[in-house]
Amino acid sequence: MTDSPVVRLEKDGDIGVIIVNYPPVNALGPGVADGIIECLNTAIADASIKAMVLMGDGRSFIAGADIRGFDANRKRLPIGERTYDVMDRSPKPVVAAIHGFALGGGLENAMGCHYRIAVPSAKVGLPEVLIGILPGGGGTQRLPRLAGVQTALEMIVSGRHVPAPEAKTLGILDEVLPEGADLRASAVAYARKIADARPLPRIRDRDCKADPSVFEAMRKSIARRARNQKAPYNCIAAVEAAATLPFDLGMQREQELFLELVNADEAKALRYAFFAEREAAKLPDMPATARARDLNNAAVVGAGTMGGGIAMSFADFGYDVKIMDATQEALDRGMARIKSNYETSVKRGSLKEDEMQRRFARIHPVAGYDDIKDCDVVIEAVFEEMDVKKPIFAKLDEVMKPGALMFSNTSALDIDQIANMTRRPQDIAGTHFFSPANVMKLFEVVRGSKSSPETLVTAMALGKRIGKISAMAGNTDGFVANRSRAPFNAEMVILLEEGCLPEQVDKAMVDFGYPMGPFAVGDLAGLDIGAAGRRRRAAQDPNYRKLPIADKLVELGRYGQKTGAGWYKYEKGDRTPYPDPEVAKIISDVAAELGVARKTFTDMEILRRLLFSSVNEACRILEEGKAYRASDIDVMWLHGFGFPRYRGGLMYWADGIGVRDVYNQIASWHQQYGSRWAPSRLLRELAESGTSFRDAKPAPFR
């Protein structure tokens, strides 16, 4: 920040232009609201000013509240003294001129204005639900009056960003400027045009009515995805107040509902997740001189499920990408799968037909390596076997132009072995996408021992460009995400030996907040993939704890949804997992062969057996310097495994239980179950010192 005011008033003839200047995105930080009010009052008192324009300097209009230190105790102007109230009382019209984002308090300020115009690229929204609160500046009262109750419910409960052209159609904006128009000049002209219009159009004066069934229908529609969360329901209640109470009473009700949320555990966890994602982008040991390269054309080697999903990830964000495979038949099959995936999105209504055609046209099937040799970056996405990947990198090294970056979409394999197949290991890194690659947001960048800082910085930037959340991992078996998850995957099968059934474990995890249970997820991904990893690890470690129940299913050809049977059975054309008596018998028979005494488990026992095992492994990863921060592990679990966001992440959740309690339970299980539950050194040290997981100091990254 500089010494210049965060809000200033300039005169453009008879129009007062109020400009917010709070870099980088004009959040409603300290002094901004007070500055807007001061400028409004000055302009109102100036007889030479006939109307006002409110706009932002730099990248945005007003991108929302500054949520650092966001809690129930921070200073808030009372109802009646806020920017929106001053605008409501203004005898002169105020025009909001929007570019960039008008989100949260930004849109609330825009709705306090009498008129709203925007450039075509602008976006508006009320995304507060995504951090566990609701719009607390009149957003739940004004938006229903401006755009209708149904639109307001959808926008506020989803938190989505609405592009300016759509916002104009919905009635949120009065005008969208032509492409390339000068925003300030256009806003001043617009303000001059409406300067004498009376009465001034105040949103608070509009009617807001709705059938009560609308609110109940919305509650039912979100019941599954909003499980265990309060914010979406408070959002609905606030909009309901807009439709049933006078404006001022609705504002009071909005405040009551807001204060119920702002300092609750849900909001704290969501704010933590928000900042953890931003922290994950920071690479503290990279030299300041490391800069991301320009990547203007990309290629994918492998047109299977993962390769196709990676190609779609590029196409979905506007980038052309080439894709190749070993045979024309495999390439054709891959392109057909990509098209089918897009067509499914069109049928579901999540993608328009014309947009589908544009995206599909960005994916270019090519015959072989000569067609990709001039690409800036190539991502290998073939089968997860070292003997398959190594020859591909040797060939890429031979054909790719100097300086091209070569990334492997491996989920566990040693990136150094792959890099050593080339004469340029500095240009090699891992870029681990999660399945389905075009949907899952985690982008795990794997740092090889010879990966250059420039390569790593570029890989992190690439993930961001294609809509992913990038996070760095060290080169260890399974990297950070899958390695920390591996004990969970083992423990869930061991629980079957001891008395659980897949549907019981899945129910416990869904009730906790996962979108799917782990056994259903296994069937979706394919049980043969996990079996291949177990075989590899068993060959490397004679003490590896085998999972005979899982292995038995694979021996029987039960690979999951793709074979119609896995942990569950599936009807043709139906992805619903149905409990299978045959699986229950396999479990019972194997347990009897092992001589395991079976018992019953509570949901809490199931939950802690699975998650505590991964917390312990996460501590080992940190003590080995394979992750920068505990919060990076949280980000990976949120975006790689569907950990419920409103619980913050694996390590944040464990902090809520307490490090000492986690350690004591793991130490007890160590005595009961043996070496797989041996507490990590870091866990023991944290418990002894009373330090939280989030404050743990990992070893230097390596």
Residues noted as catalytic: 108, 128
Cis peptide before 199 (omega within 30 of 0): yes
Using CA atoms in the order 24, 441, 610, 552, what is the torsion angle rounded to 10 degrees? -170
What whole-number distance in Å separates Cα of residue 675 and Cα of residue 545?
10
Nearest CA to 675 among 577, 543, 517, 558?
543
Question: H or E element: which one contains 51?
Answer: strand 51-56
The sign of the CA dihedral 154, 155, 161, 162 is: positive
Strand partners, 379: 300, 407
Q: Which amino acid is at 468?
A: K
Closest CA to 407 of 348, 458, 473, 476: 458
CB 432 within 8 A of CB 444: yes
Pull the structure tokens for residue 402. 């100097």
Specify whether the CB–CB gap between 464 and 470 falls below 8 A. yes
Q: How far is CA 198 from CA 90, 147, 186, 194, 547, in A?
A: 12, 22, 21, 9, 76
Of how many residues is the chain composed?
702
Burial readout 644-658 (b: 16 or more C-beta within 10 A, e: otherwise): bbbbbbbbbbbbeee
d(C-alpha 95, C-alpha 191), whole Å: 6
Q: Are strands 162-163 and 298-301 parallel, antiparallel or unpaired?
A: unpaired
Alpha-helix runs per DSSP H in 301-439: 305-316, 328-348, 353-361, 386-399, 415-419
Give me the sign of the Cα torsion angle 47, 52, 58, 64. Answer: positive
What residue has token string 């790719």? 400
Evaluate whether 683 touches 616 at the Cβ level (below 8 Å).
yes
The three-class DSSP label of residue 631 is helix
What CA–CA distance (Å, rounded) separates 514 from 644?
6
Contact in structure between 579 and 568 (CB atoms under 8 Å): yes
Q: How many Cβ atoms sit within 10 Å of the Cβ of residue 356?
A: 16
